[in-house]
Amino acid sequence: QVQLVESGGGLVQTGGSVRISCAASGRTFNGYTMGWFRQAPGKEREFVAVISWAADLTLYADSVKGRFTISRDDAKKTMYLQMNSLKPEDTAVYYCAISVTPHSAYVYFQYETHAWGQGTQVTVSS
């Protein structure tokens, strides 16, 4: 199985940038679609971004398009989310997720079953 550990969160100024990481361990990583979700206080968990298992296709939530960039480095077994032009509404716990099904289509990632990391808090001050 795979274990996911997020890092890089913290307190960020409005308009600032931060890059959070998700490091994977275990025998699975390559060949699996991965992505990010977030959960803000008092809100339901929402999809943020996904990157295909081949790292050639991405999809973003409308709320983060043009500001966030997802990437992955399979050699390092690490996924990243570069977050720019941060807004207070970006404040949330960010969770990395990996599909439990190998080679699954990235467009279906939101509807798949995932393994989850523990989350990292990103707080954007006004």
Residues 11-28 have pLDDT tens digits of 999 999 999 999 999 877
| Cα-only R_g, the chain | 13
For residue 27, what pLDDT is reported?
Answer: 76
AA letter at 24: A
pLDDT-flagged residues of the chain (< 50): none
For residue 118, what pLDDT is reported?
Answer: 96
**Rounded Cα distance, 4 and 118, in Å:** 7
Structure tokens at 125: 């001050």
**Rounded Cα distance, 6 and 97, in Å:** 10
For residue 107, what pLDDT is reported?
Answer: 94
For residue 29, what pLDDT is reported?
Answer: 83
For residue 42, what pLDDT is reported?
Answer: 93
For residue 90, what pLDDT is reported?
Answer: 98
Sheet strands (E) in 2-119: 2-7, 10-13, 18-26, 34-39, 46-51, 58-60, 68-73, 78-83, 92-99, 114-116
**Rounded Cα distance, 80 and 6, in Å:** 9
For residue 28, what pLDDT is reported?
Answer: 74
For residue 30, what pLDDT is reported?
Answer: 86
Output the CA–CA distances (angstroms, integers) from residue 47 to 27, 76, 78, 96, in the order listed: 25, 24, 19, 10
